[in-house]
Amino acid sequence: MKRLFSLVYLVIGLVATASGQSGQTGAGKPKLVVGIIVDQMRWDYLHYYDYTFGNDGFRRLLSEGYSCDNTQITYVPTVTAVGHSCVYTGSVPAITGIAGNDFYKDGKRTYCTDDASVQTVGSHTKAGLMSPRNLRVTTMCDAVKIAQDFKAKTIGVSLKDRGAIMPAGHTANAAYWFDNEAGAFITSTYYMKELPGWAADFNKANRQTSDIRYTPKGNTLVADMAIAALNGEQLGRGATTDFLAVSFSSTDYIGHRYGTRSPQTEEAYRLLDREIAKLLGALDSAVGKGNYLLFLSADHAAAHNAALMQKNGVPAGEWDEPAALNDMNNYLKTLYNTSTPLVKDLIEYRVYLDHEAIKAAGKTVAEVEEALCSHIAADDRVAYAVPFDKVQGLSIPQAIRERIINGYNPKRSGDIQIILQPGYYGFDSGSFHEGTSHGVWCSYDTHIPLLFFGWHVSHGQTAKETHVTDIAATVCSMLHIQSPNGCVGTPIRLK
């Protein structure tokens, strides 16, 4: 009788287990992994713009997928190149080498994906002189390739070169980005010698004659190109798990120009919802429901327009970066009686000192740092100005200190980190009265959406703090493969 009861309990247990996993459809491994980054998407947009959404885009991801509602970025600067690289590597700038959209490398100012050793493929411009060689670690796409002995197909698609290249990583079959001058998607000889037929056909049918980056049409074009790659490369229809990395950039362009509460931004998200629905439909059709694992997140968020905040009594304002750089050099020239500028550059709140000029002036970097930090911090708009090599021992809040340390790459980040007061920004020219920006440690820049959907994902949500670095760790854990080689994240339990 006991054995009979044990058998009954075993059967009940198996049924219960199967029932509990009813939402986890799919085979032993997904046919395809899809990563979606929405450039400059605040977490609260999922709810603030919900009234504009249909049922098959963002709402479907929320109603069928798993939402991590408190996902935070744990570094500065919160900018596009860093965000895309950190989502896909599970790492931070201190390790990845991508210290910003621009940084100094071997003594020269360098754009994150610049590579003069390659050529453009798909146009006659220089927009294709790009590759992932400045990225020092592997990405999720690389991890998927390596785990399958490089037999899988991995592709990145974005309007921005850095939005396609950073996710796709070093071993990608291709990364495609938009050449605004040519009005078409291009790549570089890092990946191939000529565009595949499907990509050339897509460009021929969709060539643009105007700048579509600041319009919702930019997102439509990316969605269509991603679907063309899905079908043209037959992703998810072979014996391997493939990877499609998609980044929607027009939301960032529109946000910078018009702000977080503008009709243009509302329209952008209303129409992006349709593009997400279209992409999900294409995946369902091509790969099959439950056969692909998808995540959606952002590279950074954005602040509300400073002028709008001021109007409503919230402390906020502008910090003119060119003027600040000029002021730093004038101060040091007067202090040390020298005609040579001692500050070489100011990039995304990072100060690059000219070490050779400082030595020639008979000074040490340490004494210049101390004097300059005191001068910068005297500005009421500045909360802290700290030398990178001394930040660990300074009395600043742990959350800020951690973000500075994680964002500091000794060979590329310069000498001093400037932290402005909440609400203050080094705005792009002309954006103070209309648009917005990002790049700092505050929650409006660091709180981003994170949704998982599809293969082995049941419906649910968590308000526990998760981190941008956890995304790659989670995906790789689900696939039972090794995380990217610089990953510092922890897998999220999707329960």
**Residue 279 near residue 422, CB atoms below 8 Å:** no
Region of residue 101 (phi > 0: left; psi between -120 and 50: alpha; otherwise: beta):
alpha
User: What does the alpha-carbon distance between residue 397 and residue 117 come to, in Å, rounded to a whole number?
Assistant: 43
Closest C-alpha among 307, 220, 313 to residue 258: 307
311: buried, middle or exposed (CB in 10 Å: 19+, 13-18, 0-12)? exposed
CA distances from 203 to 82, 118, 185, 217, 228 (A): 29, 21, 7, 15, 11
Q: At residue 153, what is the residue type?
A: K
450-454/292-297 β-pairing: antiparallel
pLDDT along the chain (495 residues), means of 10: 40 38 57 98 98 98 98 98 98 98 97 98 98 98 98 98 98 98 98 98 98 98 98 97 98 96 97 98 98 98 95 94 96 96 98 98 97 98 97 94 98 98 78 81 98 98 98 98 98 94
Q: Quick one: tokens of 128? A: 């294709």
Q: Quick one: tokens of 299? A: 């590279």
Q: Quick one: tokens of 227? A: 């679907």
Closest C-alpha among 304, 217, 206 to residue 267: 217
Region of residue 82 (phi > 0: left; psi between -120 and 50: alpha; otherwise: beta):
alpha
434: buried, middle or exposed (CB in 10 Å: 19+, 13-18, 0-12)? middle
Say what the pLDDT of residue 27 is. Answer: 58
SS3 347: strand
**Residue 59 near residue 319, CB atoms below 8 Å:** no
Residue among 71, 80, 139, 466 flagged as catalytic = 80
365-377 helix and 321-336 helix, angle to the nearest 10 degrees = 130
Within 13 A of 486's CA, how many CA atoms are on the CB side? 22
**Residue 153 near residue 235, CB atoms below 8 Å:** yes
Say what the pLDDT of residue 434 is. Answer: 82
Residue keyed to tokens 């998607």: 185
130 pairs with which residues across the strands?
114
100: buried, middle or exposed (CB in 10 Å: 19+, 13-18, 0-12)? buried
User: What does the alpha-carbon distance between residue 370 and residue 10 come to, in Å, rounded to a whole number?
Assistant: 70
Closest C-alpha among 259, 300, 294, 226 to residue 57: 294
Q: Quick one: tokens of 12? A: 């009940």
Active site residue 17: no
User: What does the alpha-carbon distance between residue 219 and residue 158 come to, in Å, rounded to a whole number?
Assistant: 9
SS3 43: coil
